[in-house]
Structure 1
């Protein structure tokens, strides 16, 4: 993998670059100090990953990121950012790392991008994603919530409500979902603290994530409300199919299974789906692979990325047992009334549970319809 670092010694210390170069013999590391040299290198030969310091001597970091996107749209772009990053940098980079960047953090970011490339080794897909002028941004409120909970297990209801309420638009969408027929059970919820108490933390995490993700404009002429409802149902189902230790991963993966439909230039890869006029190209990437690639750029865990990419064929995932990919396959299939791979369920020893899962799906959908 070819990795290009751009910036001076203050933002990119030599010891850090040497560590990256020595980490894997397959990693070919180059370093230039200014943007023009980076542009010349990118024009001369493809780069897999470009890491850009917050400040460059000859041009703004955003200018270089834009040039790299134009020259090499398939290149993964990592921006190192300070306390107040320019908005255009955030719209042009795939991943952001705070300065001073930690060794483990940088290696994890590069390693996850390499793993993602191996999983989704499709140049057309990388080019399609790279050409999108503004990718849906990572769900910041959801990530902040997860970070707060990981940092302090005793985070209280008031703290969670205050964090969600820090974004009024997201808070309003969360309350709207809380009072939908599926979640409210006839009881009006008027504030976030009550919502957390009544619905529970796991459900609130789903609602925050759904509120952020599905607020993005769709890449197709799709019904985002219906897409969101299917995602929430699939998330609830997947959570119930897995042991407690894996339930949150499965719920998140199912919730994000069709996120690729929010991207332009991809095709709806579900069986029987009809492509809209602007995506009739049969060679256009499928929305499942595109969605998985986007989640990888956001830095989500690999089991979620695998499950999204392989939701129609869970046997391709990196585990032989029934786990995240299997639960997402069953949950999304039942919600969308698609065939379930019963041969896969038989091989993984869970086929006997399929009728029970179908019954759960029917009950959830009846509740929503009611």
Structure 2
């Protein structure tokens, strides 16, 4: 994998660049201090990952990232931003991944390693190039990621802490409360504030409602019925969670919630529709998985999204997250799951119960 660091030594110390170079057996690492030199390097030959620091001496980071997108659309673009801040408006949409300063070695290595895993999983250069050229590629769901970071770094994060985080984005907070008060979640009991939502629904459900509210508010392809897409996603999320053991239930719930995110991207093909001769657009499942990989979501979620239409393609041979998302999305959409796959993974006998549960969920209105 070919990696280029762009920025001064204050952001990318020589020791850090050397560490990256030594740890990846097939990683070729280069660095330069300014945008002009980086542009010449980008023009000269292909790159896989470009990591751009803040405060370049000769041009804004967003300008360089935009040029990388034009010249090397297949390259993954990572922006390093001042720690703890929301990404600057000009960079949102230009970068696939954001990392904070000071740049922790383990965080950088995890990001580069996950991008390599993503390329191994979805080894389609044409797909990478097409997704890379999308000019309004949705930026990562910032509130969801901040919430996940708070939960991962402090096991004592309270309902009040979570409510405070969510209330920092009034538009998302309003959407979350609207979903909380739908008959689907509230069971007829009014939820009046975010702290009550956390207490009553639990952290995991509140987290997924934040994710749904952000994802289905993204700008994207015209003509998509976002309401129907969101309803199907929420039904599938509940279904997938029920199908899996507690240790992986949350992975399944999140993967099902995001399984059709590719339909929000322009220039993709809805894989539920018959394939037309000559239509070479990427399918929405792989396109969505690639986007989630760029955002840095866990690999089991990415794999489940990529292969939920064809679970036999998954590297996981047992019925796990990919299988649960396949069944959940099929039942939520009124389709039939792949019974040969379910028989091979030993869960076909459970399909009737899952179908009954799906029908009960689909009969429940989402909106208040």
TM range, smaller chain: over 0.9
Equivalence map 1:86-105=2 (5 Å):
86-105=88-107
Give the match for residue 150 of structure 1: 152
State how far apart, in whole Å, the 1-side matches of 2:148 and 2:163 are.
13
Give the match for residue 9 of structure 1: 9
**Most deviating of 88-97 and 104-113:** 88-97
Change (3 A) 1:25 1:194: closer
* Matched position secondary structure for 1:88: coil
State how far apart, in whole Å, the 2-side matches of 1:218 and 1:93 are.
17
Q: Do the aligned partners of 1:292 and 1:309 also contact (CA within 8 Å) in 2?
A: yes
Give the match for residue 56 of structure 1: 56
Give the match for residue 252 of structure 1: 254
Give the match for residue 20 of structure 2: 20
Q: Do the aligned partners of 2:65 and 2:95 also contact (CA within 8 Å) in 1?
A: yes
**Most deviating of 308-317 and 235-244:** 308-317
Give the match for residue 82 of structure 2: 82
Q: Give CA-to-partner distance per residue, 1:287-331, whole Å, 9 cap, x none.
A: 111100010011000000000000011122221111000000000
2:283 to 278, 281, 286: 286
Give the match for residue 161 of structure 1: 163
Q: Do the aligned partners of 1:246 and 1:324 also contact (CA within 8 Å) in 2?
A: yes
Segments of 5+ residues of structure 2 without an aligned counterpart are: none
State how far apart, in whole Å, the 2-side matches of 1:202 and 1:239 are.
11
Instruction: Confirm or deny that 1:346 pairs with 2:348.
Output: no
- How many Å apart are 1:357 and its aligned residue? 0.5
State how far apart, in whole Å, the 2-side matches of 1:234 and 1:324 are.
12
* Matched position secondary structure for 2:205: helix
Give the match for residue 272 of structure 2: 270
Q: Tell me the TM-score normalised to structure 1 length.
A: 0.94
Q: Do the aligned partners of 2:179 and 2:366 also contact (CA within 8 Å) in 1?
A: no
Change (3 A) 1:153 1:7: closer
- How many Å apart are 1:176 and its aligned residue? 0.9
2:294 to 292, 297, 313: 297
State how far apart, in whole Å, the 1-side matches of 2:121 and 2:201 are.
36
Q: Do the aligned partners of 1:220 and 1:263 also contact (CA within 8 Å) in 2?
A: no
Q: Do the aligned partners of 1:196 and 1:204 also contact (CA within 8 Å) in 2?
A: yes
CA RMSD of aligned residues (A): 1.8
Give the match for residue 336 of structure 1: 333
Segments of 5+ residues of structure 1 without an aligned counterpart are: none
